[in-house]
Structure 1
Amino acid sequence: MLKLLGRIVWGLAGALALIVAGFFLSAWVGSSIPRNGDWKEAETGIPIMVETNGVHTGIVMPVVTSVKDWRETFPSASEHMREGMKPTHISVGWGDREVFLTVPTWGDLKASTAVRIATQGGPAVMRIGHYYRPTGGPNHRWVVLREEEYARLVARIEAGLPLVEDPHDRGSHDSFDPTARVYDSIGHYTLGNTCNQWVGDTLATAGIEMGLWTPLAGGVMKWIPESGAEP
């Protein structure tokens, strides 16, 4: 009986290892298949930033441009930051509601939450970070978009929000990050439709060259050239 139990445990462990390895292999292959392969970055236009913390990616945009005033969509974009300054840029990310609201570090991730995400996913939210004149770097890379490309980016982001007449009526939540605000979103987070897949799809909708399936942060960032300063 003990030998049989041991074989079952080892069999389950082996199957799990194969599933995990298959996921990472599929992510690498999928993120290497290009969309918008003929895209070229604009020489002049609207600079945005693609950022990462190594696990999660986000899209950083000016609060106000000729195309879009984000204060009309996210009221927090017009509020003063802790330093007393108003943000010049917002960072938009998308992901699992429970994670964005209750998991400041991986050490805070409950086993039950991890299992739930892996097996069934959960409702999504948008995390809006607020920056004052952000600078570029290896994990914060500038990209210049044409106005029509930026307009498509804006439309794709707004399509992920519930319709409201007054943006102040939009459902929002305090974040464990005092520089961010979390807003209700449309959609369902799964391992096949992750925060990074959302960023990849949003950038691809704008016309930027991007991988087909980008569930991991590296699959997004490898398509964005490094740049040290805002264009």
Structure 2
Amino acid sequence: MRILIVEDEIKAAQYLKEALMQSGYQAESSHDGIDGLFLAQSGTFDLIILDVMLPGIDGWSFIGRLRERSQVPVLFLTAKDAVADRVKGLELGADDYLVKPFSYAELLARVRTLLRRNPVRQQEIFELADLQVDALKRRATRGGQRIDLTNKEFALLHLLLQHKGEVMSRSQIASQVWDMNFDSDTNVVDVAIRRLRAKIDDDFTVKLIQTVRGMGYRIEDGF
């Protein structure tokens, strides 16, 4: 389970990150609302722990924009204990609310409860440059043109988009798309990448799929 902590108090964020990792979770932190929102919209987190008072954008604006694209569970943290503030957070889409100061034991109990009762709704629409992919309908278009993909090509594109900007190694791709252990003598990933490029990049000026020599592949906005 991956948890994102968006908290501008650096020491508090570091404490929560280390404590959650010791409890068996993967945790990442951000100290700014705008940066935190960018990470949250990547669709790779199972829960977000969100402070209300943040630089960049506050927690209210953060969750309002997040809920336009994601239903990932959100636990609000705030020093404000007024009922109106708790109600506002819940109405905007928060799943739970914890008032500072709090004990880590209480926070951990709430985290576990949210993760049990709120399966994450996976991101459905991915947009990159003029590429749009609807994961639910399994439809891809670029520049308004429909792109016909095989099941494996779609799975490969979907995987790259889920990790937009990250380098995916051949072994990671092979295990997640083909459910196979990577063999250095097998070029199935390279062949699939070439076929996918032919469909989404070759006829367009801006190229999206990059080869990172000696490491693997990534997809990002133009080069």
Scaled to the shorter chain, the TM-score interval is: under 0.3
Task: Tell me the TM-score normalized by structure 1.
Answer: 0.21
Task: Tell me the TM-score normalized by structure 2.
Answer: 0.22
